[in-house]
Amino acid sequence: MEHRISATDLARNLGDVLGRIRYLNDSFVVERNGEPVARILPFPGSGPVTVREALSAWGESDPDPAFAHDLKRSREERPSVKDPWGS
């Protein structure tokens, strides 16, 4: 969503504006004396990722062959835990 903001308000609220650009994908037209002087947009490709996009990227990635081996080794090296409720 595009918002209009004065240069003074931008200076006072820069952190909030950058957060809205980053996390809400908002954009801003900066005005000085009521005239637009700049537009601030999210950096391309840096916006929020949907769950669908994340799952798609995960499904397309190549598995690390050493990962399964590392998981198996970590399970084997983990000390056994006694059942505290067992007698």
Tell me: the pLDDT tens digits for 41-81?
998 876 667 788 878 887 887 878 788 888 888 888 887 77
Geometric angle at alpha carbon 17, from 16 and 18, rounded to 5°: 90
β-strands 35-40, 2-6 pairing:
unpaired
* Residue 55 pLDDT: 84
What pLDDT is recorded for position 87? 62
